[in-house]
């Protein structure tokens, strides 16, 4: 577990599945994370979420330090074809927590952890041009 000013960054737990599904299928979020049209999740979506978060080497869930409320997901993805310790980063904040500074707090933690603690050489990201909340956050950096 890691801690920021307001957040606890911890490993995925099975009980996080419903929160992640709710966030990723929310009509305000889904168009920002997929090139396809939003559609209801498949019956196997919960299993896919569990597999994703249990098998990615550095993926985590962000919850509030005080109450343990789900804020979102955070991680570094290092595809097997990516040499030289250059992971892609990702941050997802549940819509009810947008515009509260959590995305910036997660981004500060993730970059510091990637470079200082894990010794990554470079961190990159990709976002869709219609993902205005993310673009606003990343432009500040």
pLDDT in tens, the chain (141 residues): 999 999 999 999 999 999 999 998 888 887 777 655 566 677 888 888 888 888 887 899 999 999 999 999 999 987 666 666 788 888 999 999 999 999 999 999 999 999 999 888 888 888 888 788 788 888 877
**pLDDT (0 to 100) of residue 39:** 65
Tens-digit pLDDT profile for residues 83-119:
667 888 889 999 999 999 999 999 999 999 999 998 8
Identify the helix (H) or strand (E) that includes residue 133.
Answer: helix 132-139
CA distance 98 to 83: 34
- Prediction pTM value: 0.86
Find residue 76's DSSP bridge partners: 58, 89
Q: Is the dihedral of CA 35, 36, 37, 39 positive or negative?
A: negative
CA distances from 12 to 8, 82, 86, 91, 110 (A): 12, 24, 23, 14, 16
CA distance 87 to 79: 7
- Which domains does the chain possess? 2-139 (3.40.630.30)
């Amino acid at each position: 577990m890691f801690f920021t000013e307001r957040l606890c960054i911890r490993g995925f737990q099975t009980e996080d599945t419903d929160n992640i599904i709710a966030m990723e299928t929310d009509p305000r979020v889904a168009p920002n994370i997929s090139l396809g049209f939003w559609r209801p999740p498949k019956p196997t979506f919960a299993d896919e979420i569990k597999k994703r978060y249990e098998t990615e080497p550095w993926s985590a869930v962000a919850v509030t330090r005080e109450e343990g409320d789900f804020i979102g997901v955070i991680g570094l993805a290092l595809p097997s074809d990516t040499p030289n310790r250059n992971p892609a980063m990702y941050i997802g904040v549940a819509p009810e927590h947008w515009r509260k500074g959590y995305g910036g707090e997660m981004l500060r933690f993730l970059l510091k952890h990637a470079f200082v603690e894990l010794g990554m050489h470079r961190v990159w990201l990709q976002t869709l041009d219609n993902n205005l909340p993310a673009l606003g956050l990343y432009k500040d950096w």
